[in-house]
Each structure stands twice: as C-alpha cells, then as structure tokens.
Amino acid sequence: MLRGILGVIAGLVAGALATGGGEGLGHFLYPLPAGVDVYDPKVQTTLMNIVPMEAKLAVVLAWAFGVFVGCIVAIFVAQRQSWPAWVVAVLLFVFALWTMTIIPHPDWMLWAATAGTLVSAVAAAYIFARR
C-alpha cells in the first residue's frame, strides 16, 4: 500500500513536470503576441481566440503526454501495480479541468483532454503494469 501511495505522489510530480515541459515547448513554438497580459481577466476570456490552433493542439498533447509519463512512473514505483496509475490519471485530468475553468477553452479541448487522458492511462497500464 505504501508503494502505491508513493507511486501516486511520484506519478503526480512526474506527470506535472512532463505536462509543464510539453506546454512550455508549445508556448515556445507558438508564442502569444507581444503585449498580451495573460493575468488580465478580460484578456483571458478572449485568449483562446488569439492563440493558433497548433498551440491548442500542443496543450492537449502535453496533457496526454503528462498523463502517460505520470502513469508510467506510478506503475514502476508501485512495483507494476496499475491502481496508482489510475489515481494519477484522474488527478491530472482534474488539474486539466481546473485549468479549463480558469481560462475558458473550446469544448473540443475538453473532449480531447478526456480522450487523451483515457488513452494515455490505458496505454501505460497495458504496456507497463503487471498482468
């Protein structure tokens, strides 16, 4: 049980770092226009109209990548048990939902985040967990 809890913690850290790295890469490749204040609530409501589609796709891919990495780390720390990976997947998905409530995102990003989380978690569990 302790290995499972440690797996969840390690998976969350690894998943958050992977997601942040992926999002950072996306922001580097597709930067916002100069002078955009992302902390201004008025700008946040129109922000998704400013950024290109490629930047939105990069964010969704970063979320899926973060879940995949987090699940793999959780599985290995928990000695190839799969339940910690599912906890990590759910928690990282909740963080993505929280992000979508702070900055309004298009509906398709919600559906893509849901599908990406599910596919990433299933793939990690299928490939790396003990059967």
Summarised one tens digit per residue, pLDDT across range 51-80 is 889 999 999 999 999 999 999 999 999 999
Q: What is the model's pLDDT at position 130? A: 85
**Token pair for 39:** 């902390």
Q: What is the model's pLDDT at position 11? A: 98
Q: What is the model's pLDDT at position 115? A: 97
Q: What whole-number distance in Å separates Cα of residue 74 and Cα of residue 69?
A: 9
Q: What is the model's pLDDT at position 20? A: 97
**Roughly what angle, to the nearest 10 degrees, separates helices 107-128 and 53-77?**
30
Residues of the chain whose pLDDT is less than 70? none
Kindly provide the b/e burial profile for residues 9-48, where b requires at least 16 CB atoms within 10 angstroms of the residue's own CB. Answer: ebbbebbbebbeebbeebeeebeeeeeeeeeeeeeeeebe
**Token pair for 88:** 């990590």
pTM of structure:
0.92
Q: What is the model's pLDDT at position 49? A: 84
Q: What is the model's pLDDT at position 51? A: 85
